[in-house]
Chains A and B, each alone.
Chain A
Amino acid sequence: MKTWEEVPFAGYILEPGNAESYRTGDWRSRQKPVINQEKCTFCLLCWIYCPDGAITRRESKVEIDYYHCKGCGICAYECPSGAIRMKSEAEEA
């Protein structure tokens, strides 16, 4: 832990977006969203509705960032093609 001489000037935070290194994926208690890529139409609703930016948008597909996903289930509830389902943490994708 930093001393008063080492903490940044006036408690400013000088590394933009460094919270990305903070894991919020362990907030999930029981279930995690799993994408069935066969069914996914790449409509991007899950991406735009995610509170945590935990849907990673690739060239032509979306992936779930489990390091940050808090398991709220919005993506599964909103997916119009039923491509995302909430599964128990133990279950394989």
Chain B
Amino acid sequence: MMARKVLALNGDEAAAYAVKQCKPDVIAAYPITPQTIIVERLSDFVADGELDAEFISAESEHSALSACIGASAMGARTYTATASQGLALMYEMLFVASSFRLPIVMSVANRALNSPLNIWNDMSDTMGARDCGWIQIYNENAQEVYDFTIQSFRIAEDHRVLLPVMVCHDGFVVSHSTEGVETLSDSEVDSFLPPRTPVYPLDVENPVTIGCVGVPEYYPEIKYQQEVATKKSIQTIKEIINEFNESFGRNYDIIEKYQMDGAEVALLTIGSASGTAKDAVDEMRAEGKPVGLLKLRLFRPLPVEDLRKALSGLKAVGVIDRHISFGSMGGALNMEVRAALYEMRERPHVMGFPAGLGGRDIRVEHFIKITEELLRIAERDVLEEDYRVVGCRGPGCIGP
């Protein structure tokens, strides 16, 4: 048995290394910055005989995901990776993959969307795909990318779930930053992730028709069945994370708390911004400010009850979105958190802070300004703005 090794890996390499250990049968992908390293490494693994998989160099992301759908429907363990425009091009097929209940795992190195063309990080891509029926897991660093890539296959293929999973990490900030990653041995991964057992594969012995016309007399029943499966998957995801924690000495959860004891206001973050936010919280705690941090790992399905529990008792919450949902109340996370809390008798004020758009740095001082705003809101018990953009020059924004 190979011992655990600590490897110097960036986020993309961590994803690729984890995927190799998960032994997919088919990988279909198209290169796009900042995900490209993943497909390059996987190509290397296949070329060097370290990974026995069919690698389809698709001619577009739309075709990459389409090929994954065909392969997964055959019963193969199937993987792809993309970002930004690539995910946007896949949009149509995202719905098909989840509606067919195919356990495809896809890494997304989060990147802004055109236009203007921008290769840097924000979450316009995956947040725009939040209603496609995929599970969405957001990671803070390369270690999490590694650990949750492995767990994603297990979650997706669990017969109580059978849904595709997007396992996301921030472009460049995580994808291209090298860290020490504690990897599991191949046999540890094998024991955690058994081979896939498909439910209704395309099989000449048992012909199945997949992708019928869903007439109005049946469409709602078929869709509600999918909705129930998606909602129920939260419990299974928790169980699988717990098993992973116990097996390998990790300490993950779907919402993670940092310095929340005695907190009156909190920052709610997603992805790599959490790291900087933790530094800011430490600094402010040292000054005696009652601020804590909640990091949301699972955005789809949205852990509504867990959010309510985690946020109850607070006076104000600042939600750090990494995109703008144009013409509404900032970002999707802000809107959904507010909606989740609305029916609570005692609820905190919730203000959105779309930040770090298109790769603009989010720095400690940004979080300090946000926290000062939250403390003001808490003190006056009034929220005057639904959201304010962070990291932007000009009136109405917290910048630069």
User: Would A and B touch once assembled, by the CB under 8 A criterion?
Assistant: yes
Chain A binding surface SS class: loop
Complexed CA–CA distance, A32 and B221 (Å): 39
Can you show 11 pairs from A to B with CB atoms below 8 A apart?
A2-B218, A3-B221, A4-B220, A6-B221, A7-B222, A10-B99, A10-B225, A11-B218, A12-B210, A12-B212, A13-B212
Whether a CB of chain B sits under 8 angstroms from the CB of A14 is yes
> Is B199 on the interface with A (CB-CB < 8 A)?
yes
Contact partners of A5 in chain B: CB under 8 A: 225
**CA distance in complex: A4, B218 (Å):** 9
Since A3-B221, A11-B214, A12-B200 are in contact, a sample of 16 more A-B pairs with Cβ atoms closer than 8 Å, ordered by chain A residue number, is A4-B220, A4-B221, A4-B224, A6-B221, A7-B218, A7-B221, A7-B222, A9-B199, A10-B100, A10-B101, A10-B222, A12-B208, A12-B209, A12-B210, A14-B209, A16-B207
Give the CA-CA distance A5 to B221 in the complex, in Å.
8
Instruction: Give Cα distance in the complex from A3 to B228, angstroms.
Output: 13
Contact of B217 among A1, A4, A9, A13 (CB under 8 A): A1
Tell me how far the C-beta of A38 lies from the nearest C-beta in chain B, rounded to whole angstroms: 40
A1–B215 Cα distance when bound, in Å, is 13
Residues A9 and B200 in contact, CB atoms below 8 Å apart: yes
- Residue of B100, B210, B220, B222 ringed by the most chain A CB atoms within 10 A: B222
| Complex Cα gap A7–B212 (Å) | 13
Give the interface of B toward A (CB within 8 A): 99-101, 199-200, 207-210, 212, 214, 217-218, 220-222, 224-226, 228
Q: Which 10 A-B pairs have the closest CB atoms?
A: A13-B209, A11-B222, A16-B207, A4-B221, A4-B224, A10-B101, A4-B225, A7-B221, A12-B208, A12-B210
Chain A residues numbered 1-51 whose CB sits less than 8 Å from any CB in chain B: 1-7, 9-14, 16
CB distance from B362 to the nearest CB of A (A): 40
Give the number of A-B contacts (CB < 8 Å): 46
Q: How far is the CA of A5 from the CA of B226 in the complex (A)?
A: 10
- CB pair B209–A16 under 8 Å, yes or no, is yes
B221 touches A14 (CB 8 A): no
Q: Are B225 and A7 in contact (CB under 8 A)?
A: yes
Q: How far does the Cβ of A46 sit from chain B's closest Cβ, in whole Å?
A: 28
What chain B residues lie within 8 Å of A12 (beta carbons)? 200, 208-210, 212
Q: With a CB–CB cut-off of 8 A, which chain B residues contact A1?
A: 217
Cα A10 to Cα B103 with chains together (Å) = 13
Provide the residues of chain A in CB contact with B228, threshold 8 Å. Answer: 4
CB–CB A14/B200 < 8 A = yes
Q: Compute how far the CA of A6 lies from the CA of B199 in the bound complex, rounded to whole angstroms.
A: 17
CB nearest to B199 among chain A residues: A9
Instruction: Determine the chain A residues whose CB is within 8 A of the CB of B225 once the complex forms.
Output: 4-5, 7, 9-10
Please give, as numbers and ranges, the residues of chain A lying within 8 Å of B210 by CB-CB distance: 10, 12
List chain B residues, Cβ under 8 A from A16. 207-209
Closest CB-CB distance, B103 to chain A, in whole Å?
12
Q: Which residues of B contact A2 (CB under 8 A)?
A: 218, 221
Residues of A within 8 A of B214 (CB): 11
Name the distance in Å between B271's Cβ and chain A's nearest Cβ. Answer: 31
A12 and B206 CA atoms in complex are apart in Å by 12
Q: Given the complex of chains A and B, what is the CA–CA distance between A4 and B225 in angstroms?
A: 5
Nearest B residue to A10, CB-CB:
B101
- Shortest beta-carbon distance from B29 to chain A in Å: 25
User: A66 to B100, alpha carbons, bound, how many Å?
Assistant: 36
**Min C-beta distance of B220 to chain A, whole Å:** 8
A3's nearest neighbour on chain B, judged by CB, is B221
Residues of B within 8 A of A9 (CB): 101, 199-200, 225
Contacts of B226 in A (CB 8 A): 10
Q: Which residues of A contact B222 (CB under 8 A)?
A: 4, 7, 10-11
Task: Kindly report which residue of chain A lies nearest to residue B217, judged by CB atoms.
Answer: A1
Give the one of B208, B209, B214, B224 with max A CB within 10 A: B209
A26 to B258, CA, bound (A): 70
Residues of A within 8 A of B200 (CB): 9, 12, 14
* Contact among B100, B208, B218 with A14 in the assembled complex (CB-CB below 8 Å): B208
B100, B101, B199, B225 pick with most chain A CB within 10 angstroms: B225
